Amino acid sequence: MTRLPRLPYAHLNLRANPFRELTPEERGALAVVDVDAWVACIRKRRATEAGPTVTGRAARARGSGPPVLVLQLLGSSGVGKTTHLDALHRRFPDAPRVAWSAPSERERRSRRIPGGWPPVPPGDLLFVDDAHAFPRRRWVGVLAGRRTLVLATQRDLTPMLQKAMAARPGPGRAPLDVRTSDLTAQVTPDVLRRIVARRLESARRGGGSLPKIDAADVVSLLRRRGPDLRAVLDDLYRRIQTHPPVTP
């Protein structure tokens, strides 16, 4: 006999597991990040780029225009690079966002849709996830537009970008202004506590209590897993799956 399903996670007063994999929109909306300084930096650069003077154009033609701004969100796997990128992208929704796509398991099996390099869309601002996966020859093309770049990367790409820029023909070259933010240092117990609280609240089904996750537990999780937020959220996902029903 089959029992009918019930509303998911209703016993926990939730709509879904708060520590589930999120869509890019949800990730951007729920991110606990401070990107205001970066947003100001990009806006300032865009404002400068919007009205190039005749002198500016001539300088560009000579290959000596204003430097190309590159913002690097640097960190190892799971520290929140994509989350930061999505949160920034939410502030510039008109700018394209690309990512190297690895073929899925099924795609690999069927060998039908190989993962690959996305085409580089036009625009003065480009968000690139998984930037470390891009080979140098791709960067030569990406740098062609002298656009501002926001990169989520696991390693510092400055040397590669400089080589790629040097590989461009003379008039296409420009100095690079690379600014890097190491996200590993930003994963603190306080940030994690805020992430947990925000995630739980976003999945709330109705008024009343929610599953409790002890603050000390959160700290010990972080100590055990290091700055790998994804691993911490994996643990919390499992915890929610086995959590006893909450009393209203």
Partner 1 sequence: MNDTVRIDFDRPDRTYRSGQTVRGELVIHTDRGDSCGDVYLTRFWRTHGKGNPDRGDRKVMRLHEGPLRGSPPHRLPFEFEAPGGPFTYHGTFLNVDHYVEARVDLPGLFDPGPPEEYLLVPGSEVDPPHPELLKVTGTKSAGARGCRVVVGAFLILFGFFTLPFGLVLMVPGLFLTFPGLWRTLAGARLGEVSSTPAKMIAHPGGTVEIRVRLEPKKARTINAARAVLRGREIVISGTGSDQRVHMRDIHTREIELSGPRELTAGQRATLEGEFHLPDDAPYTFTSKHNEVAWDVTVSVDIPSWPDWHQEHKVVVWAAPAEEKDAPHRIQEAADVTSVLPARTGRAARPARDSESALRSAPTSPGDPPSAPKRSPRRPPAPGRPDAAPSTVSTPADSDAPMVSDPAEATPSLPDGGGAGPGADGFDTVEAPDPPSSRRESPLAAAVAAILEEKSFGGARDPLIRRLQGSRHTFDLKVDLVKHTFGAGPDPTYRHGRTVTGSVAGTGIAVDVRFPTDRNDEIDDYRRGAVHPVTATVVDWEKLSEKPVLEA
- Judged by the rule CB under 8 A, the positions of this chain that interact with partner 1 are 1-8, 15-17, 20-23, 25, 77-78, 82, 93-96, 99-102, 104-107, 110, 112-113, 121-123, 129-130, 132-133, 154, 230, 234, 237, 241
Buried b (16+ CB within 10 A) or exposed e, 80-96: bbbbbbbbbbbebeebb
Supply the minimum distance, in Å, between the C-beta of residue 216 and partner 1: 26
Supply the minimum distance, in Å, between the C-beta of residue 25 and partner 1: 8
Chain-centre distance for alpha carbon 224: 24
Chain-centre distance for alpha carbon 150: 10
Supply the minimum distance, in Å, between the C-beta of residue 178 and partner 1: 21
Nearest residue (CB) to partner 1, 37 versus 113: 113
Backbone angles phi, psi at 81, to 5 degrees: -65, -50
Supply the minimum distance, in Å, between the C-beta of residue 5 and partner 1: 5
For 11, which DSSP code? Answer: G
Supply the minimum distance, in Å, between the C-beta of residue 146 and partner 1: 17
Amino acid identity for residue 61 in this structure: A
226 sits in the region (left: phi over 0; alpha: psi -120 to 50; else beta) called: left
Nearest residue (CB) to partner 1, 115 versus 159: 115
Q: Cα–Cα distance between 141 and 128 in angstroms, integer?
A: 13
Half-sphere exposure of 196 (CA within 13 A, CB side): 28
Nearest residue (CB) to partner 1, 114 versus 159: 114
Helix (H) or strand (E) holding 151: strand 148-153
Supply the minimum distance, in Å, between the C-beta of residue 42 and partner 1: 15
Nearest residue (CB) to partner 1, 1 versus 54: 1
Supply the minimum distance, in Å, between the C-beta of residue 157 and partner 1: 14
The sign of the torsion formed by the CA atoms of 213, 214, 217, 221 equals positive
Nearest residue (CB) to partner 1, 101 versus 184: 101
What would the two tokens of residue 103 be?
A: 């073929």
Nearest residue (CB) to partner 1, 177 versus 234: 234
Q: Cα–Cα distance between 27 and 20 in angstroms, integer?
A: 11
Look up tokens 């002198």; give the residue.
55
Nearest residue (CB) to partner 1, 95 versus 222: 95
